[in-house]
Every structure is written in C-alpha cells, then in structure tokens.
Amino acid sequence: MMAVVPHMKLAPRALNFEDMVRLRLKQHLTTASSMRVTVITAPAGYGKTVTLRQWREILLARGERVAWIELDQRDDDPSSLSRILQQSVIGEGLPADRGSWRANLDASIDGISHLPGRVWLLLDNHSFDPCDGVDEVISHLIDNGPDCLRIVISGRRRPRIPVTRLRIANQLLELSQEQLRYDPEESARFLKIELPADMDLLDHELITAMTRGWPAGLRMTVTMLGRSKRAKDALAALAQLPAEFAEFFAECLATDLTSHQVALLARTSMLDELSLPLCRAVAGAAGIEDLFRRLRSGELFAHCVDEGGTRFQLHPQFRQYLQTYLNERLNEDGKLQNARASAWFAQNGDWQLAVQHAFSAGNTLKAVEWARQCALEEVAKGNLSMVIGWLGQISVSQLMGDGALLAAAGTAYALSLRLDDAKSIAGMIENLIAASPSDPDLYELADYRKSLLIFIAYMSDDGTALLALADEFRSSVSQAWSVLVVGNATIHGHLIGGNIALARGSLQPLPVEADQPALSFSVVCRSCLLALCDVAENRLDEAEPRLRQAYDLAQRVVGINTAPAVLAASLLSFVRYQRNDLFEAELLLSGHLDLIEQTCLVEGLIACYLTLVRIMVSRGDWKSGYQLLERGDALGRKRDWLRLRTVCIAEQIRLNLLQSRVTQARTLMTVLRGMIQARPATDRSPTSFGWRLLRMSEGRLLAAENKPHRAAEIFERQMHEFAWDEQAGLEAGIEYSVSLLAMGRRGPAIEGMISLLARTEPGDIIRPYIDSGAGAIFLVKSAIAYLQNNASRRVSPEYLDRLASALAFITVERPHSHAEPSLAPALTKRERELLNRVQHGMTNKEIATDLDIGLETVKWHLKAIFKKLKVRNRTEAVSVIQAGVIPDQ
C-alpha cells in the first residue's frame, strides 16, 4: 500500500477572512443537487473556492458524503489522480495499482455505487494548462459513474468534457463570473459590514461601480481603506488603479496567458466592446481566434454582452491595467489602434464610436466629418457631456462651417444649463446668416436659431418668454420641425400660465412625417403637453393613451434611452401611479433618473420625483423619499426652476405633517414662503403655481395645528381659485373634506368626498385619496359605505370596487384628535325613528302621519337632529347614517 495523499489536497485550505453567506449561491446548490455535473468557471478572485467551501459545509451538515480534491499540475497524470479519487471518496489509503488508470478508476466507481445516499466530488482549482489527463479522468467518471454521483468542477479553465451531451440531457449546471459576482444588494451588504461607519452611500456606489461586484476587488478595496488614514484619498486612488490591483492582474496574466495574448488584449483595451471582426481589424489576425475562445469560456476578466457570445466588455480595472501595460511595457500610445478602430466604426456606420476613436487617434478632421453624422442624435440620447467634450476639441472656425454641429452644440449647451454658451451659438448662427443672407442652404439654420432661442426659454422655465418668442417667430419659420417647435412653445407658455383652454386652442395638425427622427422630439413633446392639459382636467383616461402613443413613437424612432422617450415615460408613470399601478409606474422610470434630470422639461421632472417619492413612502421608505426631494430641490436651485423647487419643498412639508413632524414642517414653510415672496409679482399672484403650493402647505399646517376652521377656509378658496385645474381642485377638495370632518361636520365631509369621487371616476383616479392620509381614507370608506348601502348610482359600483380593493391594502386607524372629534350626543329613540324615515325618503308630512305627531313637532325634532349631527339638511344627515357613525343612545 502506498502512502496516503496529503490532507491539504483532500480538504479546503483555511481562509484568513470570514465568508459572507450569499443566499443566491446556496440556491444554486439546490439546482446542482439535481444535476450530474456542475462547472464553475471564472477568473481569479471571483470566489470559486469560497463557493465550494460553503456548499461543502451545507452538504456535510445535511449528512451527505462529500469528497474534496484540490487539483494541481501533478494531478494531470490519470494514474495518480484515479487512485487519489478512491482515497478521497472511499476514505482508504491509495490502493494497489491495477495495471491501468481506467481499472483503478473503475474500482473507485464500483466502491461509490455501494455507498449509501448521494456522493459529491468537489474538484477545485481546475486552472492549469494543459490538464488533458484531469479532463480524461472526469469524462470517464461522467460516462461510467453511478447515478448517485455529483461532480462539481471549479477553476479558471473550462474542462474539456462532453458538455453538449450533458446540456441536451439537462444534466449540466454552468456558473460563470456573472453568477459569482456580487449583485448590488450583496455589494451593499458586504461594504456595510466591512467599511467604516463614516462611509456614505455615494462612496458605496463608487466602489461598486469600479469593482463591478468582483469579490477580490471589493476585498482589496476594503483592505486599502483600512490602511488609509483618509478614506477619500483611498477612493481617489481606486480610480487610478492601485498597485495591489496591478500586481494581482500581473500574476494572473503571467500564469494564464502568453505574452502575445496579453499584447493582443492591451492593443484592444481602448475598445468599449470587443468583437472578433473589430479586434482583427485593430490588432491583427494572428492569435485572435484563440483569444476569443478564452473570452467565450469565461476564463478572462471580461463578460459577454450578447446572447450569441460574440461581444465582450473588459472589467474596468482590468482594462485600466492593460492600457498601462500598453504604454509602459509595449511602449505604444495606442494612436494606431484608435485610428484603425475609428475607420472600422465609420465603415460600419457607428459614427459615435468613430468620432471617439478619431479624436483619440489625433485625427480631428475625420472626427469633425463624422461628428456631423451623429451629434444631434447623441444629444437626443442625453450624451451631453460626451458631445460637449467633442466641442472642446473642435476649433471655432471648424464649428462655424458646419450647421449640424452648431445645432448640436446649441442644444447640448442649453440642456446642460450652459445658457450663455447656448446664446453664443445662436449668435454664431446669426452672424453666419448675416454674412450670406441669400444662401438657401442657411434657411434651415435660421429656423434652428429661432428654435434654439425657444429651447433656451424652455430650460429657463419662462412661460412669458416662450409666448413672446412664439408670437415673434410664428410667421417666419418654414421647416416642419420648426413649425412644431413654435406651436409647442405657445401651448407650453399657456400651460405654465395656467390657461388650459388657450393651450388647447393653440393646437395645429401634426405633419404627415411625424415618425421621422428630425420631428420625433417635437411630436412627442406635443403629445406630452396635451397630456398635461388632460391631467390638469383629471382626464387620465385620455392622457394615458396619448402618452403611450408618444412613448411608443419615441422608442421606435430614436430609442428608449433618449430624451423624447424619458419625457413621455415620466409623465406616463405619473398617470399610472395616480391610477394605482405602482409596479408599471416604477418600471417606466427604472434606470432613467439621471437621463430624466439631464434632458426633461420641468413637468417631466416634477412627475418623476413625485411618483418615485410616493412609491418610496408607500413602502415605508420615508428616508429615501426625503433624500430624493432634497436632490430635486438642489437641481431646481442650480437651474433656478421655481416650480421644481416649490414642488419638492411642498412635498417635504406634506410628508413631515403626515409623520406629525410639525416643527420640521414649520421650518420648511419659512423657506417656501421666503422663496415665493422673493419672486417677481407674476410668480406671486393668487393663481400662480408657487402661490397655490404655498397656500396648500399653509392649510395643511393649520390642520395639523388643530385649526380646522382656518384650514377649511384656505382649501375652499383654493377649490374656487383653481377651478380650471381639476387636479389642483381635487387635492384641495380632499383636504377641505378632511377639515370638515375635523370640525365635526361629518355629513358635509362625506357628501363632499362623494362629489369628488363622481368627478374622478372617468379618470379612474385612486392614489390621491390614499396619499392624503388617514382622514381622507376614513372619509372615502364612509362614502363607499353610503353609496353601496343606499344603492346610489352617483358613482359606478365598478369604480367603488376598485377603490375598496386599493384601500383594503392600506392599514389605518379610524382618525381621532383633530381629524375627528368625539361623537355627537346620542339620539333619542324618537329622533332615531324620525331619522330612519328620513333615510327612506319620507316627507315631513308623511312622517307626521306615520308617527301620529304634528308637522311642527317633526320640524322641531329634525332641527334637534341636525344640531346633534352637525349637519345642515336631510341629505347630509342621510350621509352620516349611511357612513355608520350615528351613536347609540
């Protein structure tokens, strides 16, 4: 009998850090239990061994038999490995040699088949090359092993085993770096455990973005931060590729790739994505096929970005290392490769990347030539910083000679709130036209200048300027898109001023070429402006199809991640939220907040912030809601957008009052009042947007201070002053009814709520009632009870059912304190008899006859009843009955 194998090969090595339990990887073990083979392939540092360790511990805790072998180069001898397997699985010393490795392995297989239960063979570190002997042994086990055997192979090399046959039989689980990397939630949990308490959310986001969930990268970052006296300095170093990362990559490449393969990667590291045709054009054909085989196998620090396995992205820190390698080790600046890349992209019509690589190659003339092909499109996609970066490399003379670039420059500067630069571009265009006033090629550019001035007014949120410019340019523009721009400016100016009728009256028919890219933004903008009119009138049933059509047009013509698409998405999400579809509302905005903030009009931002904040609050995440409103206020301050700022501060006041944080609400009220009073007189008129939010906030604060009479006065006045804005009227009407309830006037409060429900039924509006708090919810439930008990048709049963279903998920206590004073004095038996007959619609004379009492006595009893119930007439009294709030004697 030969000596036994060293124990360190048959058990996992100890780690000098504590494993973080990852539920996702435990779930993969469940899948592996039903598979014959599991293959885990990933570059170094992705936690392959850690995953196997955790699986082993779980399996041993379940009482299953687990064998572990840490592979190394010596195990590439099938004879040696086959005998090690028997000691690992059966638990004996190495058996005598039976003459061939297959005979030895068959003896082990026979022993496994007689073991009770399932047997796991964990083969770690399948990372050396060549490893043909190991793969031959594994293949023999797969072909001849018993059904109870589960084989798990982990390493940087993909084993050469019969994977196609296993896939067809659904007996193979394959895990790669995509499954092993930390997802955002796991990264956040890891960093929260490991990092100092003074690290904030932005620091966490930066680390996660740089490491892309690479476990070793996260752990090296934590180690760096632990050694550094100043965390911010360490984070800055992270962006410059710390020495620890460079050494790690150097060691991996030295063992995994030839020097020629490393050079190929370095010479393609300036590419955002690697594809075989592109890399062949940039770095040459020699060795490129083998390199892509390694990429497809998941062995390198790159991930596949398409289902066909043809395009890959390098890990950002690995890419940084390769670019340093190109400069320092290969002594190349990459200009030749960038020039080849730019030519390849231009040939394939990918103008944006052609421009990017032309600039990197130092070929400004080509960059300018190709930039005119795509600059406006990139602005529409929200790539403002990129386009502005291009402009910084183009001379004024080159810019002056190109109308397409001037148009893109002006729009990019305006969207970036660099309004002085945008006005300079408008001045350049004016000078260009003045120099050649009869040149027909400049007619379109003249229209663009007028559109740019209008767009600058848009970004200034100046309704008066919009109307003035629209009046000035209406008769002088000739292009289809510029006519649309002027028309939209008229509609938008009236909307900002609150003139819905004039906004609708400004409509003009859309051009037949509405689905052309040059017109798409203006067409989408037109639909969004009309939808805003619908929303102001609570006609969400008309706003939604209009916005869906605009959203579909934007996606089809210019793409989903573009300014037109996110403008339509932000407004559509607000409509879906109002109709209580929180899932779609959030889905429409998911991943688009940065682009919305960069490119949207004020209305789109307001819709986006309010929707996201209210969804957060509905989940109990008040902190995130406040943070987002503060972010919106900061953006409004930066852009001098009063409407955005007033919305964000007023919403903070509303949320604070819902949480009974009256002191904080008072502080914010002071800020809001000072902000409104500092504005021009036009922004302080009783019907202005900011004034309405100020008055609504004052009313809510009075209600919270138990001053419902004064609050009701404000809300009632708001209902009348904003009769043209149904959405504002609904908000004020709900608060007015709640104030009446707090005053003890239950009947009028319920009757008022019923009237609101009748008005909001056509738009199927639900969330405003829920968001207004416990008092509003109580009144809506009371109104539903009255309408259902009375078989009233004032509101359809279907709408009431939808409301009731939505309210069923909301848990609130029946309001007390100032939201509902103590119940009215109990009614006498005779008063209840009278009230019962009132409920059944009997007249005073009929009641007198039925109860055998005088008519004056009936009137006297009714007067007493009305006083006790704090109602004014029979209708309000019946509302109180149906709401079930009549006290017993």
- Provide the pLDDT for residue 516: 62
Same domain, 524 and 412: no
Reported confidence tier of residue 550, pLDDT bands at 50, 70, 90: very high
Lowest-pLDDT range of 59-63, 263-267, 581-585, 721-725: 721-725
Residue 402 CA to residue 180 CA, distance in Å, equals: 50
CA atoms within 13 A on the CB side of 510: 16
User: What's the CATH code of the domain at 466?
Assistant: 1.25.40.10
Residue where a domain terminates, one of 577, 600, 623: 600
Reported confidence tier of residue 441, pLDDT bands at 50, 70, 90: confident
Residue 451 CA to residue 219 CA, distance in Å, equals: 52
Whether the predicted pLDDT of 420 surpasses 50: yes
Same domain, 773 and 859: no
Residue where a domain terminates, one of 157, 180, 203: 180
User: What's the CATH code of the domain at 711?
Assistant: 1.25.40
Residue 48 CA to residue 63 CA, distance in Å, equals: 23
Same domain, 759 and 653: yes
**Of 379, 370, 380, nearest to 558 (Cα)?**
380
3-state secondary structure of 120: strand
Residue 818 CA to residue 515 CA, distance in Å, equals: 56
Assign residue 677 a region: left if phi > 0, alpha if psi is -120 to 50, beta otherwise? Answer: alpha
C-alpha distances (whole Å) from 162 to each of 36, 37, 39, 158, 168 are: 12, 10, 12, 12, 10
Share of the chain above pLDDT 70, in %: 90
Q: Please give the mean pLDDT across all residues of the chain.
A: 85
Residue 555 CA to residue 422 CA, distance in Å, equals: 27
Same domain, 526 and 387: no
User: What's the CATH code of the domain at 841?
Assistant: 1.10.10.10
Question: Pick the residue with more confidence: 6 or 143?
Answer: 143
Q: Which of the 8 DSSP states describes residue 861?
A: H
- Provide the pLDDT for residue 17: 59
* pLDDT tens digits, 811-820: 544 443 333 3
Model pTM above 0.85: no
Residue where a domain terminates, one of 459, 490, 515: 459
Same domain, 848 and 794: no
The side-by-side arrangement of strands in the sheet containing 274-275 is 274-275, 311-314, 302-304
Same domain, 845 and 761: no
User: What's the CATH code of the domain at 65?
Assistant: 3.40.50.300
Same domain, 102 and 122: yes
Same domain, 195 and 174: no
What are 837-843's contacts with CB under 8 Å, separation 24+? 838/862, 838/874, 838/877, 838/878, 839/878, 839/881, 839/882
* pLDDT tens digits, 193-234: 877 666 666 677 778 888 888 998 888 888 887 777 676 676
- The verdict on residue 142 lying in a domain is yes
* Residues 86, 16 contacting (CB under 8 angstroms): no
Reported confidence tier of residue 822, pLDDT bands at 50, 70, 90: very low
Provide the residue range defining the domain that includes 502: 461-600
- The verdict on residue 768 lying in a domain is yes
3-state secondary structure of 311: strand
* Residues 569, 589 contacting (CB under 8 angstroms): yes
Share of the chain above pLDDT 90, in %: 42
- The verdict on residue 251 lying in a domain is no
**Secondary structure of 634-695 in the HEC alphabet?**
HHHHHHCCHHHHHHHHHHHHHHHHHCCCHHHHHHHHHHHHHHHHCCCHHHHCCCCHHHHHHH
* pLDDT tens digits, 228-258: 767 667 677 777 788 888 999 999 888 888 8
* Residues 360, 294 contacting (CB under 8 angstroms): no
Same domain, 689 and 583: no
- The verdict on residue 363 lying in a domain is yes
Same domain, 395 and 427: yes
- The verdict on residue 2 lying in a domain is no
Residue 668 CA to residue 657 CA, distance in Å, equals: 11
- The verdict on residue 378 lying in a domain is yes
* pLDDT tens digits, 836-875: 788 776 788 888 888 888 888 888 888 888 877 777 777 6
- The verdict on residue 290 lying in a domain is no
- The verdict on residue 551 lying in a domain is yes
Tokens at 551, concatenated: 């959203």
Reported confidence tier of residue 481, pLDDT bands at 50, 70, 90: confident
| Mean pLDDT score, 576-583 | 93
* pLDDT tens digits, 672-700: 999 888 877 665 555 578 888 999 999 99
* pLDDT tens digits, 80-106: 888 888 788 876 554 556 678 888 888
Same domain, 866 and 731: no
Which residues have CB under 8 Å from 616's CB, separation 6+? 622, 624, 625, 628
User: Is residue 174 within a helix (H) or strand (E), and if so which, with residue range?
Assistant: strand 172-175
Per the structure, the count of domains in the chain is 6
- Provide the pLDDT for residue 224: 80
Same domain, 68 and 167: yes
